[in-house]
Structure 1
Amino acid sequence: MENKCIYGKEIAERLDQRTIEFVEECRNKGRRIPKLVCIAIGNHPASVAYMKGLRKKCEKVKVELETVVLDASISDFELIRTIHGYNKMISIDGILLQMPLPSHMNREKIVLEIDPLKDVDGLHPLNTGLFYQGQEAFVPCTALSAMEFIHESGMNLDGKEVVVVGRSNVIGRPVAQLCLNEHASVTVVHSKSLNIEKICSHADVVIAAAGVPKMIKKNWLKKGAVVIDVGINYDENGKMCGDVDFDDVIDQVGKISPVPKGVGVVTNSMLMRNLIFAYQRKG
């Protein structure tokens, strides 16, 4: 079983080492260090936990981090004013706005106010448009992370069949485009799709990003398929699990990313890569 699992730790270590080397080079040349600002609204436990993990990652790779926690009742105007302030700061390379925003806020309006050149989470429509046109742009970190697992599996996507389960703007759609960029034939299925099991059963690679616990079973998969599980869910016992029923499919797959210890481990390392990209684009 172990030789079928693609764990995120090694991938994250490799990405982190590249970031550490880049920051060290900046120090040796007397240049400033890349800096990220993370803006959170309210003190939700999940938000606090994420901030803690992000700070730990930034400390490891030696980049600078500024965290801003705003009151949960803050207005759109006040948040936008905060974002504009960081847009103007030359020392800030990346702006990360924690999602989801409180229900009283206009997400689309607020995301538009982030400088696209500092949009390290790839949320701004300008980055989205450039990405789908095949131009240089920021891409959502989880989608990029999923691709690292495909590469780690040894799968060459040229001419292969890929099925993406889920069509969100932060995972499903961008990871489908990334696979198209590597010349795969890609099918995206979702809650309104018919015969999902049959469609998945023909795929060389299945990327699960539906947000439904243990949805994908053994009979959904072709023997030897590479399965990338992006789901973060909790089962009836409160145990973290993915969109794939790991125990059911393990004998069927060629390679699989487990949950936990899979794609989620790599996401912040990929965020650091996007931060370096932002830093380099400023020249």
Structure 2
Amino acid sequence: MGQIIKGKPVADAISEELTKEVVELKAKGITPKLTIVRVGANGSDLAYERGALKRCDGIGIATQVVELPEDIIQEDFIKELKKVNEDKSTHGILIFRPFPKQLDESVIKYVIAPEKDVDCFSPVNVAKVMENDSTGYAPCTPSAVIEILKHYNVPMKGKKAVVVGRSMVVGKPVSMLLLNENATVTICHSRTQDMPKVCSEADVLVVGIGKAKMIDSSYVKEGAVVIDVGINVDEQGNLCGDVNTGDCTEKASMITPVPAGVGSVTTSILAKHVVKACKLQNNL
């Protein structure tokens, strides 16, 4: 029976370390600050925002929310974003996406200041993830996957890692981060032939495909570590992942649950990136 590895101990360990760093920064007269830019009031954005504000508050990071109207035009949005870019007290910026239809992500991603872009929206940070450049910011969810693997001492070096999903949100960046940890990485997607066979060869299986309970035990190698990044709602209206956890627990050595898995670590990573940004901007 596999061990259910939860996100909370990982998040708590990161937060504890960050709290000490923030105390040291404040002693130098510097307070790290996160500014969240949100268009409208989407329920999932608000839920994540509440978690992020609570996490930052607990660590001692200052926060600000810039809420913009749902029907804001692109020119006005860019004006508001430039104000946040230029605000000396803001070290990290988080912009909620996807945007309403009138806003063009492919233009806006070039406007956000890369050094303040703590969730990898700017192409500059995407490139830095590719190059394994430590001054960049990988997206928070893929980074949370790596933090969980490290916290639970899961070896990655030389191991076979299979990532299910190729989105820019999870699949591609988590593949790069695993590669940066010297894993041998295979990416599966909707056109992959015989996906269960490919997945069942993985020592580490990371799933982010957006289909509720799609991955069952036929995809899992005996003793593999399974990380479920999916967030779905099942027929009963309960939150569930992309992995059928009950079925896969028999074969996996470790498996993350949904909820209480990867998602619970992402706000700690966000806070970690804000502190890192603050240090870099103050040449510390």
Q: TM-score range by the shorter chain?
A: over 0.9
For residue 106 of structure 2, what is the aligned residue in structure 1?
A: 108
Q: Deviations over 1:30-62 (max 9, x none)?
A: x12100100100122222222222221121111
Please state whether the residue corresponding to 1:60 is helix, strand or coil. helix
Contact conserved, 1:149 with 1:257, CA < 8 A, in 2?
A: no
Alpha-carbon separation, structure 2, partners of 1:245 and 1:143: 20
* C-alpha contact (below 8 Å) 2:129/2:177 kept by paired residues: no
Contact 2:18–2:59 (8 Å) recurs in 1: yes
- Aligned partners of 1:6, 1:157: CA distance in 2, in Å? 17
Instruction: Output one character per residue of 1:158-188: Cα deviation in whole Å (capped at 9) or x when no partner.
Output: 2111100001112111111111111111100
Unpaired runs of at least 5, structure 1? none
CA contact under 8 A between 1:127 and 1:139: conserved in structure 2?
yes
Tell me what 1:74 maps to. Answer: 72
Matches within 5 A, 1:97-246: 97-136=95-134, 137-246=136-245
CA distance in 1, matches of 2:85, 2:37: 13
Aligned to 1:51: 49
Structure-1 residue corresponding to 2:11: 12
Whichever residue aligns with residue 166 of structure 1, its letter is G
Cα shift at 1:240: 0.4
**2: CA distance between counterparts of 1:54 and 1:155?**
27
The yes-or-no answer on 1:261 pairing with 2:274 is no
Q: Could you give the per-residue CA deviations for residues 224-244 of structure 1, whole angstroms, max 9, x where no partner exists?
A: 100000001111111100010
Q: Return the alpha-carbon distance in structure 2 between the equivalents of residues 43 and 156 of structure 1.
A: 41
The unaligned stretches of length 5 or more in structure 2 are none
TM-score normalised to structure 1 length: 0.97
Moved over 6 A (4+): none
The superposition leaves residues 182-226 of structure 1 with CA deviations (integer Å, 9 ceiling, x where unpaired) of 111110001111111000011101000101100100011110100
Contact preservation (8 Å) 2:160, 2:201: yes
Q: Contact 1:153–1:226 at 8 Å: present in 2 too? A: no
**Can you list the C-alpha shifts for 1:78-111, whole angstroms capped at 9, x where unaligned?**
1110110111111110111011111221011111
CA displacement at 1:27 relative to structure 2: 2.2
CA distance in 2, matches of 1:48, 1:267: 15
Residue aligned with 1:83, SS: helix
Specify the code of the residue in structure 1 equivalent to 2:148.
F
TM-score (norm 2): 0.96
Q: Secondary structure at the match of 2:162?
A: strand
Let me know the Cα RMSD of the aligned residues.
1.1
What is the deviation of 1:266?
0.3
Count of residue pairs the alignment pairs up? 281
Amino acid at match of 1:242: G
Whether 1:273 and 2:272 are equivalent positions in the alignment is yes
